[in-house]
Structure 1
Amino acid sequence: MKRSIHAFLFAIVLGIAGPGVQAKDSAAGADDGVKVDKMSSVRKLVSEEQVEAAALQQYLGIKRDAGQQKALAPEGHPQLQRLRAIANKIIPHALRWNERAAQWQWEVNLIGSKEINAFCMPGGKIAFYTGILDSLKLTDDEVAIVMGHEIAHALREHGRERLAKSTLTNAGAKLAGIGASLLFGVDPHLTDGVAGFGAKLMVLKFSRGDETEADLVGLDIAARAGYDPRAGIALWQKMGMVSKNTSLQWLSTHPAGDARIAEMQKHMPSVMPLFVKARGTQTPPPPYMSNVKGIAPIP
């Protein structure tokens, strides 16, 4: 019995328990756009409420610290208004990927820092650092790609899945003793410590599969909102140029590379029609022009 329980739990940790895990998933009611693997069932071992509560506490702490350092952008800041305007266009198209997102209290803030970083925490709490806007000279389309990517991590519950796997891994011997209860319902004691994971939410290292999924879902969301998905290619070309001269915090958890750009290019036929439709015209859009020398027009 104990061996079979361990085998079952090991399968869950790997995200392969039960049939259909590798089936393709798309936005609710959408036959167009990108298709990605279904979300791992392992995330259900940690409640949405606990993860979102932990995220909120950490987000409030980040805002408080930024405020004390006079680094939190005031309401009238033009870059903050720009970010919120982009978010207002993107978020309605994000909800189709996760019904719960309609209940989130979405929030966007800007933090003054040279750090090249941005994030969206579970529950829709978004922050950009001025460093990513200034150092990369992001166009609105490129901001939308970054924002869409980060929102996609929250929508696809990658943080919840990572915390659930961490909970199972750290539980160790405790799992054997409560294995039977896991088969019929989650032991509440397993998730007692999830609130303490708030400090980990900002440093979670997502898998390569998570990153690819966030790229694709982010492209889908941005394109539906009327932002050019080809900006994603220009964005990562910029990242490659800047990373040669400085260490990027964002790249520590968002690996770049030619393979990533190639994956985006492969899925352009799925997202470009969304962008064309959002533009309200069937006229093919002109090549995407970045604002940095060295990046060729993207047809």
Structure 2
Amino acid sequence: MSLSVSRALPVWLVCVLAVACATVQTTAPGTVGVERKQTVSPLVNRNSLNRQAALQYRQVVTNAERKNALNVDLHQTERVRRIAARLTPAVAAFRPDAVGWKWEVNVLASKEVNAWCMPGGKIAVYSGLIEQLKITDDELAAVMGHEIAHALREHAWERASQAVNAQLGLTVIGIALGASGASMDMAGMAYQAMFALPNSREQETEADRIGVELAARAGYDPRAAISLWEKMGKVSGGAPPQWLSTHPSQESRQKDLAVYSAKVLPLYEQAKAH
């Protein structure tokens, strides 16, 4: 007895998506206890994603250099790199392998209030973040720790996997229904997930918590994360900047940061004593 397309389709979809999923633990939980296991797709090659990130970072740096917007203020650049040099050894608490990443840190001259860290440790801080927020070293460590946490947790890999699995499901449906042109642009999906699609709120909360621990272990006051987001709210007129649009609300974020900064305060005190 043959099955109709409408009845066979769920079986197709379940089988394909089951093959296309795997569960990984990208980091140790640390003192803050980030223990969520992440679902990724073997169809998204982790090493290829990291190579693509490195190429994209090089393009951003090259374009900034051509516009005379790369590391214009040597004092700013030295300051950011000094903080990064203290943060990067602290990543060993979550991922010992990340200590050996080819870390790179640059400051881009821009009015935009922004910072990011690509997979593999490629960091960019925008001068607008430093100047508009009149940011302290502790607050800058909070921002950079947060962005480094995204790289440690490989959130880009996770987002790319979600995007590919969604496209895979559409492709299976298209084939089952006899649609022409059902295809899956893996490279395009990975690019979108890394550079265009926002982090989920769950990912942002993880980055907040890991970020305060990285800052504390590096000898920066983790409580500065709270004042940082207060400044963010003021500079954006009460609404989060576009790059923070999926972040938790300011109220819930501050409550969570208060709890977790207190939890890692002994690490800060210990680091300051040495």
Q: Same fold (TM over 0.5)?
A: yes
Counterpart of 1:241 in structure 2: which amino acid? K
Report how far residue 236 of structure 1 moved: 0.7
Counterpart of 2:253 in structure 1: which amino acid? R
User: Partners in 1 of 2:248 and 2:29 — Cα distance?
Assistant: 24
State which of 195, 210, 215 in structure 2 corresponds to 1:222. Answer: 215
Check if 1:91 corresponds to 2:88. Answer: yes
Identity of aligned residues (%): 41
1:80 alignment counterpart: 77
Give ranges in structure 1 of 5+ residues lacking alignment: 28-32, 179-189, 282-299
Report how far residue 39 of structure 1 moved: 3.4
State which of 111, 116, 135 in structure 2 corresponds to 1:114. Answer: 111
1:26 alignment counterpart: 29
Report how far residue 177 of structure 1 moved: 11
1:132-281 matched pairs, under 5 angstroms = 132-172=129-169, 174=171, 193-194=186-187, 197-198=190-191, 200-244=193-237, 248-280=241-273
Secondary structure at the residue paired with 2:124? strand
State which of 6, 26, 39 in structure 1 corresponds to 2:13. Answer: 6
User: Partners in 1 of 2:251 and 2:267 — Cα distance?
Assistant: 24
- TM-score, normalisation: structure 1: 0.76
User: Partners in 2 of 1:191 and 1:160 — Cα distance?
Assistant: 17
Change (3 A) 1:221 1:51: same
User: Partners in 2 of 1:249 and 1:212 — Cα distance?
Assistant: 17
User: Partners in 1 of 2:67 and 2:15 — Cα distance?
Assistant: 49
Summarize deviations over 1:139-175 as a string: whole Å, max 9, x none.
0000000000000001001111000110111123545
- TM-score, normalisation: structure 2: 0.83
Q: Which stretch shows the higher mean deviation, 110-119 or 245-254? A: 245-254
Do the aligned residues in 1 keep the contact of 2:109 with 2:127 (CA within 8 Å)? yes
Give ranges in structure 2 of 5+ residues lacking alignment: 1-7, 176-182
Counterpart of 1:203 in structure 2: which amino acid? A
User: Partners in 2 of 1:177 and 1:244 — Cα distance?
Assistant: 45
User: Partners in 2 of 1:95 and 1:152 — Cα distance?
Assistant: 12
Do the aligned residues in 1 keep the contact of 2:163 with 2:193 (CA within 8 Å)? no
Counterpart of 1:219 in structure 2: which amino acid? V
Do the aligned residues in 1 keep the contact of 2:91 with 2:99 (CA within 8 Å)? no
Change (3 A) 1:160 1:113: same
Counterpart of 1:250 in structure 2: which amino acid? W
Report how far residue 41 of structure 1 moved: 3.0
Counterpart of 1:217 in structure 2: which amino acid? I
Change (3 A) 1:10 1:128: same
Report how far residue 266 of structure 1 moved: 1.9
Report how far residue 51 of structure 1 moved: 1.1
Report how far residue 11 of structure 1 moved: 7.0
May I ask how many residue pairs the two structures share in their alignment?
A: 259
Change (3 A) 1:255 1:68: farther
Change (3 A) 1:247 1:239: closer
